[in-house]
Structures are given as C-alpha cells and as structure tokens.
A = this chain, B = another copy of it.
Amino acid sequence: MRREIVAAANRLFYQRGYNQTSFSDIAQAAGIPRGNFYYYFKSKDDILGAVIDARIEGIRAMLAAWDAAEPDPRLRLKRFGQVILGSEKDLVRYGCPMGSLNIELGKAQPALKAKAKKMFDLFIDWLTRQLAALGHANAARLAMEVMGRAQGVAVMTQVYGDREFLHAQLAAFDAWVESLPG
C-alpha cells in the first residue's frame, strides 16, 4: 500500500510538478481512500521525502550495476549518457526528473530542495570517481561540468522537443568520453 502511494506520487510529481500535485491527486492515482492514506503519510512533504528516498535507492542501484558491469570508467560514463536515451520520450515532455524537481523546490522551498539535491550529489560523486579513476586532477569540477552539460541538454530537449539535437549531443558526449586521457 505504501509502495503504491510512493509510486503514484513519484509519477505525478514528475509529470505535473510537486506543487501542482495534491494529496487527493495522489490518493486517487494510487486508488486508496484519503482516510487510509494518513496512516502512511501525514503530509505531502512526507510523501516527497519517501519519493526522493525511492529515487535515491534507484540511482544507487543503477550506478552500482554500471560499476559491476564495466571495469572501464569510460564505458561506465557512456552508460550515463545512454540512460538519457532510455527515458527520451519522458524527457521531451516532462524534462529531467531530478533537475526539474530541484529547480521547482529551489525557488521557495529550501528544506525540500536540500533533500532533492541529494540525487545530484549521488551522480556528482559517481562521476567524480570515474573521472578520478581516469587520472583527472580536478575530477570534481569536471564532474560538475558533465552534469551541467547533461542538464542543459535536458532543458533544451524539453523546450524544443528536438530529439535529433538530443541524439547529436549524446553522440558528442560519447566522442568526448573516448577522447579522455587516462
């Protein structure tokens, strides 16, 4: 039951935005009467906390799977690019789930945004490790740059719905990864 609520909220927060999703929207989407609902969550902020925890769990598992599958940091970095392609259709419509949530909450909800930022931290740490493994002295800064590029591509893809642009940018990312020394 809790799992259904979190899954429904996760989808709605992504597709409509956090503030555009009401408690009732979530109850309805999860098919659970609002009354039962309060047993699991006292507030929408609590649900957001659970949604972010679930997303973080998912990101952690994904990054661990990449690390396990590929010993070469370059191939791991390429997977980072490829994961964007897997969610291309959603990206065009709803933007980056992580970026758009942080941008929304960053404006006027600093406590919630601090939670959402943890998703970024996971990727930045992971990217830093891959780039450091390739011998980059300033891997942390480069990781910020890579993440920034990915976020920029996500924004442009949502604004223009231009999949050709997305594909060209991902091909350029792969070429850049190939060119990395180390």
Contact = CB atoms under 8 A, between A and B. Distances in A.
Interface of A: 15-17, 19-20, 93-95, 99-100, 102-104, 106-108, 117, 120, 141, 144-145, 147-153, 155-156, 158-160, 162, 165, 168-169
Contacts of A160: 117, 120, 144
A162 B149 contact: no
A113 B94 CA distance: 12
B141 A168 contact: yes
B155 A103 contact: yes
19 contacts: A15-B107, A15-B108, A16-B108, A17-B104, A17-B108, A19-B19, A93-B107, A94-B106, A95-B103, A95-B106, A95-B107, A100-B103, A102-B155, A120-B160, A144-B162, A148-B149, A148-B156, A149-B152, A152-B153
B165 A156 contact: no
Q: Which of A15, A19, A94, A155 has the most CB of B within 10 A?
A: A155
A115 to B, nearest CB: 12
Nearest to A146: B152
A119 to B, nearest CB: 10
Contacts of A104: 17, 100, 103-104
Contacts of A120: 159-160
Given A102-B155, A141-B165, A149-B152, 9 more contacts: A16-B108, A17-B108, A19-B19, A95-B103, A99-B103, A103-B155, A144-B156, A147-B152, A152-B155
A84 to B, nearest CB: 13
Given A102-B158, A165-B144, A107 B17 contact: yes
